[in-house]
Structure 1
Amino acid sequence: MDMISQLPEDLLLRILSELPTANDVVATMVLSKRWQLFGSQCQNLCSTTTTIAIKILILEETLHFELTQTFDVLDIILWITIAVQRRVRYLKINIDCASSTTPVILPRSLYTCCGMLVTLNLTSVTLTDASTLPSFSTLKTLRLLSVKYPGDEFVRRLLSSCHVLEDLEVEQCNDDNVTIFTVKVLSLRTASLYKSSDRCTEDEDGFVIDAPSLELLELYDYSGSFCIVEKDMPNIVDADVFVNHYPSTEILSSITSVKHLDLCLSYSKDAYSDGSVFHRLVHLKICTCATEWLNLLMCVLRDSPKLRAIKLRQCHDIRDEQPRPCWNEPKSVPECLISSLETLKWVKYEGTEEQKEVAAFILRNGRCLKKVAISSETTDSDKKLEMLKELSLFSRRSPNCHLAFD
């Protein structure tokens, strides 16, 4: 009796996934009539595409494949086995979710492959748990987009095993089995962390970051979760922080060494700790879609003595029922307006009362201003002309300030 034929398909594929080489996978097919159903497909892969793949791998050490609903799980097992055998250094697996409703579970042999990888890019796959993970001693770039995990602890172990990781991109999807996504990598230089807009979060959902060598941070989260930064980032140069939850002040307070800062925050109070100074900040972008953007702008101007350029633009739609921003002119002029600010660019200017007051305040106090560029999206030519007249009448502290309106 062929006992192997009685085993469930998942178990058969599990056995194949644990085999060390592609030749072993093919040889094992002869042991069971059930496995012979996979035989022709596997033989074709080994006799045709494998030859092409080996040539690519020898020359470029790269394996990149995108799969749709027509693929078989055995395809993944075989290709990962080939990747391990050929010592691939650059591996990309992209599953087309639009054409495949069945979860794609990657075999444990992937972790063996990671022992030689420099770059690993995974999209829309499910990772398998493992009691122990190898040291990913050569992995420098890791992208995990819409990936599902065994749980929080697995993520923590996975990233802590990447001892030389420099570039990390994460996009958390709905139902990814992770509540707190912990990024604790001392070697990390760039981190791009996203939460998908359809993600349903709980009160304890969020990111925990411990990356003191970070130079670039991109944080995009509109799901209402939290972000805790455990250590300051003294090497940070660029940071984009787009969040709509109530702040934990660690985020901005930990990146006060930043030079280029892009903000879209739904709050201004307690955005960062009192006494924080952005002593190297020279370029500031602020989104004007939130109600409190004016207060946030004034706070950052006050605490950025070397700021040279400001860009204001509306990145997101404004709800009709959303309260209008409140403008309170500061009692003292920020130091950057007196000694360093050279350019102001304002996109989607609408000429509201509070916008006119902010523009007038900057023009009136900007001693070093060289250029103010303001653009409007209105198609009403009369309204545009009226806005231009109003702006032209504002007094300018700097005699060298050029006003451009589009």
Structure 2
Amino acid sequence: MQGLHSVHMQILIYILSFLPTKDVVRSSILSVKWRYLWTHLSVFDFLIPRVKYGKNQNSANCLLDLVGRLLDKSNCIERLCVKIFGISVNANQVSSLISSIAKNKVQHLHFNLGDVTTTTNCVLPLSFLAFESLNTLYLGLRLTLHIPSVICFPSLKRLVLAYVIFENENSIQRLLSRCHVLEELGWCNCHFKNVKQINVAISTLRTLNIHFDSSFLDCDLFDNCIVKIDVADLLTLRCRTNPAIEFAMVKI
């Protein structure tokens, strides 16, 4: 281990960048010098896969705590991916992490938490409402998402929403209208409560992907729902829905 102590920190960080995130975190036990070395990396990919037998609640809590500590110590995160499958997590903890992520100027965020326990709507924290650095956002959360009127993503080019519940038309239209440079939009098994029409009118949009599977959804949430597409320069439209949803093409 003596040789490792003499290696320049930037070289160590470069070497660690080639390892999977779980191995990078494990390096913190090698020595005192290495304890927080892993927090200087810019790309992190955390995963708890769906297990066939049993669910380890502690593993999910520990992972979210670890991500929270990372966000407190690091100011150089460019890409953060957190995936937890088959284990319930607390919505308040999720909201707190999202707030910290915005403060860290993350550019690419993939947040997939298939099961979220909450009795109230999830409101995006204030620090997330003007997320200037965000370029790519994948948000997979089984909760009702409230979109405030002041939200703005000036740099967001790719947005994918999965399993999110929109409480009304205003909520989803606020989100779409504040993504001024969006090039790719995806919906996967989202729930649209009390929504009769969704207007997709983003001049910069080039790709639209829509996927709804009835095995994941309450079909009553889609009664008489119309998706109106008003995008003159759309290049790619992929759509697979069950139940069927009515589409109205204005400019395409």
TM-score, length of structure 1 as denominator length: 0.40
Q: 1:193 aligns with which of 199, 204, 210?
A: 210
Indicate which of 173, 176, 184 corresponds to 2:201. Answer: 184
Instruction: Please say if 1:220 is aligned against 2:236.
Output: no
Pair 1:65 & 2:86 matched: no
Shift of 1:121: 0.8
Task: Return the match for 1:161 from 155, 178, 194.
Answer: 178
- Equivalent runs, 1:7-406 vs 2, <5 Å: 45=65, 49-53=67-71, 58=76, 60-67=77-84, 69-97=87-115, 100=116, 102=118, 105-109=121-125, 111-112=128-129, 114-123=131-140, 124-130=142-148, 132-174=149-191, 176-197=193-214, 198=217, 199-200=219-220, 204-231=224-251, 233=252
Displacement of 1:156:
1.6
Deviation at 1:51, TM superposition (A): 4.5
**Which residue identity is paired with 2:159?**
L
Decide whether aligned partners of structure 1 residues 141 and 57 sit closer, same or farther in structure 2, where only a CA change above 3 A counts.
farther
Q: Residues 54-110 of structure 1: CA distance to partner in whole angstroms, max 9, x if unpaired?
A: 67761x41222234645333422321221122111122221223xx56468433316
Equivalent position SS for 1:208: strand
1:217 Cα offset (Å): 0.6
CA offsets, 1:265-312, max 9 Å, x none? xxxxxxxxxxxxxxxxxxxxxxxxxxxxxxxxxxxxxxxxxxxxxxxx
Find the counterpart in structure 1 of residue 3 from structure 2.
none
SS at match of 1:200: helix
Amino acid in the other structure paired with 2:197: I
SS across alignment from 1:96 = strand
Figure out how many residues of one structure are paired with residues of the other and give that number: 185
Q: Distance in 1 between matches of 2:123 and 2:211?
A: 26
Confirm or deny: 8 A CA contact 1:128 1:150 kept in the other structure.
yes
Distance 1:178 1:172 in 2: 15
Q: Between Structure 1 and Structure 2, which shows a larger proportion of strand residues?
A: 2
- Give the residue type in structure 1 aligned to 2:99: T
Amino acid at match of 2:211: Y
Q: TM-score, normalised by structure 2?
A: 0.62
The one-letter code matched in structure 1 to 2:246 is F
Gaps in structure 2 of 5+ consecutive residues? 1-60
Contact 2:192 2:221 in 1 (8 A): no
Shift of 1:139: 0.4
The percentage of counterpart residues that share the same residue type is: 24
1:392 matched residue in structure 2: none
Q: What SS class does the counterpart of residue 88 from structure 1 fall into?
A: coil
Aligned-residue offset at 1:126: 2.3
Residue identity opposite 1:66 in structure 2:
K
SS at match of 2:93: helix
Distance 2:68 2:124 in 1: 21
Contact 2:173–2:198 (Cα < 8 Å) also in 1: yes
SS at match of 1:164: coil
Relative to structure 1, the CA distance from residue 101 to residue 115 in structure 2 (aligned partners, 3 Å threshold; closer, same or farther) is same
Assess if the C-alpha contact under 8 Å between 2:108 and 2:136 holds in 1: yes
Letter in 1 for 2:156: L
**Structure 2 counterpart of 1:147, which letter?**
V
Over aligned residue pairs, what C-alpha RMSD do you find? Answer: 3.0
Kindly indicate whether the alpha-carbon contact (under 8 Å) linking 2:227 and 2:248 is maintained by their aligned counterparts in 1. yes
Equivalent-residue separation in structure 1 for 2:209 and 2:67 (angstroms)? 35
Change (3 A) 1:201 1:127: closer
Query: C-alpha separation between the residues in 2 aligned to 1:176 and 1:92?
Result: 24
One-letter amino acid matched to 1:145: A
Gaps of 5+ in 1: 1-40, 234-406
**Letter in structure 1 aligned against 2:245:** S
The 1:119–1:176 alpha-carbon spacing in structure 2 relative to 1, beyond 3 Å, is farther
Secondary structure, counterpart of 1:178 in structure 2: coil
Cα deviation, 1:316-374, whole Å, max 9, x if unaligned, reads xxxxxxxxxxxxxxxxxxxxxxxxxxxxxxxxxxxxxxxxxxxxxxxxxxxxxxxxxxx
Q: 1:186 to 1:73 in 2, by over 3 A?
A: same
